[in-house]
A = this chain, B = another copy of it.
Amino acid sequence: MEMKKDKVSPLRIPVVAEGGYAPSLSAENGRVSTAERWLAKKLLAALGHPSIAIVFWNGEEVYTATGKPIARTVLRDHAALYKLLTNPALHFGDLYSTGQIEVEGNLVEFLETAYCAYDNPERMKLLRKIQDNFLNRPRANTLDGARDNIHHHYDLGNDFYELWLDREAMQYTCAYFPEPTMTIEQAQRAKLDHVCKKLRLKPGDRVVEAGCGWGGLARHMAKYYGATVKAYNISRQQVLYAREKAKEQGLVDRVEYVEDDYRNIQGEYDVFVSVGMLEHVGPDNYPGLSNVIDRALTPNGRGLIHSIGRNRPARMNAWIEKRIFPGGYPPTLGEMMPIFETNNFSVLDVENLRLHYARTLEHWLARFDQNVEKIEQMYDGGFVRAWRLYLCGSIAAFTTGSLQLFQIAFARGTDNDLPWSREHLYK
C-alpha cells in the first residue's frame, strides 16, 4: 500500500463536537422520533439484519436479528443517523473517527459483519430506495473533493511507521505466512524471498522496481540474490530513508533509488517488479504501464506484480478513498489484464494471498495498539481512532473476501525459457 506523496496535509475529518472526539451519551441530544426508529430498522433490514444493534443517543436500542448482538453501534446524535443512512460507506469512517459513532464490541468482528451485509447488490438497492424515498436528497457523490482531502500517509514520517511495521524491511505490503505462526519479520522476509523465487532472480540480474516504498525489496534482492536494482518512488521521504539504509548495509553500488514516477523508467532490465503500487495506478493507466514494462524488459525478462484486488469490480471503500488513499482502486484480475494483453505478455502464475493480508494487518494492529499512547501524543485521539478503523476495516475486508491480494508472475508471450514446475518456490 504505497502511496504517492503529496503536500503535507492533515486528515480533514469534520469534527462536530468541541473538545474531544467522543462526546458522551446524553439525554440533551434529544428524544428519538418514530421516523428515526423506523429508519434505523430499515437500515438494519437493508443490511440483511446483521447481529448488530443500533443504540440511540438516549440509550434506546434497536435490534432486528435473533440471538445475541455481536456489537452495538452507538449513535451520538441525530446527524449521525442521517449521515449513516445517506452514505454508510463514506460517513461511518468519519463518524467513528470523530466519536459521533461508537462501536461497543470487537471492531474487527463488527466490520466483518457489516462488510458481509454490505457486499450484496440486492440489499444496496433497498438502501437506495430508503434514501430516495425518505431522505429526499440526491445520492452523495462520494468522490466530491477527494483530491482536496489528500491523506497524509507518507507525511506522517518514518517514525510513525517504524512503530508498527516489521523492524527489518519496513514492508507496508502483504506479508507471506507459509507458516501462520510466523512473526511479522519472518513473514515479510518470506514474502521477499517468495517474490524473488517467482522472478527466478539470480546474481547479476538487472532489476527495475516500480514503487519501492522504503526500499526493503531492492536491498533484499541485492543482498541475498546478487542483483542490481534500480528502484523508483515519488516519495522523497521514503527515498531518503531507503538510501540511508542501503548505505548502512554497504549496498550503494548495487541499489539505486530514483525519486521519480514509474512512467519515467529508463533502461533495459532482466526483471520488472512492482509490489503494492498497482492499487494507485488506476485502470485507465494499465495500457501505459504495459508499455513501460515492454520498453524496460529484455526478450527473456521476467515480471511480477503484487497488488490488492477484487473478485468483482467495485470502487474502493468511500471513506478509505477519501481519507486514506485518494485515487486508490483495487482491480479485479480481469481489469488487470490490459497490463498483459497490450504487449502480449503471458501470465504464468497467479497466487491469491488474501488471508495473508488479514494476518499481516493483525500484526500491524497489535503493534499499533501497543503504541497507541505514543501515537496519540504524536497526533491526537481522532487520528488514532481513524487509523485503528482503517486497520480493522482492512482486516475485515480481507477476511470477508471483499478484498483479495494477487501476485502475478509473467513473461513475454514468446519466451520459452520457463521452469517446468513451481516446485523451486518451495525448496
**Does A33 count as interface, using CB distance less than 8 angstroms?**
no
From known contacts A346-B404, A399-B416, A401-B414, infer whether A178 and B334 are also in contact, taking CB-CB under 8 Å.
Answer: no
Contact A420 B350 (CB under 8 A): no
Chain A at the B interface: mostly helix, strand, loop or mixed?
mixed
A120 to chain B, nearest CB (A): 10
Alpha-carbon separation in the docked complex, A180 to B419 (Å): 10
Contact A418 B311 (CB under 8 A): no
Alpha-carbon separation in the docked complex, A340 to B401 (Å): 13
Listed residue (A312, A332, A404, A412) with the most chain B CB atoms within 10 angstroms of its CB: A312
**Does A7 count as interface, using CB distance less than 8 angstroms?**
no
Contact A420 B347 (CB under 8 A): no
Interface string of A413-427 (1 = CB under 8 A from B): 111101011110110
A413 to chain B, nearest CB (A): 4
Those of A331-371 within 8 Å (CB) of chain B:
332-334, 337, 340-341, 344-352, 354-356
Give this chain's copy count: 2
A308 to chain B, nearest CB (A): 14
Contacts of A312 in B (CB 8 A): 341, 344
Contact-size category for A: 35 or more
Contact B413 A311 (CB under 8 A): yes
A216 to chain B, nearest CB (A): 21
Those of A300-346 within 8 Å (CB) of chain B:
311-313, 332-334, 337, 340-341, 344-346
Contact B420 A180 (CB under 8 A): yes
**Does A116 count as interface, using CB distance less than 8 angstroms?**
yes
**Does A179 count as interface, using CB distance less than 8 angstroms?**
yes
Sample of 13 more A-B contacts, CB < 8 Å, known A332-B341, A333-B334: A178-B420, A311-B345, A334-B337, A346-B404, A348-B352, A349-B351, A350-B350, A355-B416, A400-B414, A401-B414, A421-B426, A423-B426, A426-B426
Give me 25 A-to-B residue pairs in the complex whose CB atoms sit less than 8 angstroms apart, sorted by A's number.
A177-B420, A178-B420, A178-B421, A178-B423, A179-B420, A180-B420, A311-B340, A311-B344, A311-B347, A311-B413, A312-B341, A312-B344, A313-B341, A332-B337, A334-B337, A334-B341, A344-B401, A346-B352, A346-B354, A347-B350, A399-B416, A401-B416, A421-B426, A422-B426, A423-B426
Q: Please provide the 3 A-B residue pairs with the shortest distance between their CB atoms, ordered closest to farther.
A: A334-B337, A350-B350, A401-B413
Chain A positions within 8 Å of B, measured between CB atoms, are: 116, 177-180, 311-313, 332-334, 337, 340-341, 344-352, 354-356, 399-401, 404, 406, 412-416, 418, 420-423, 425-426
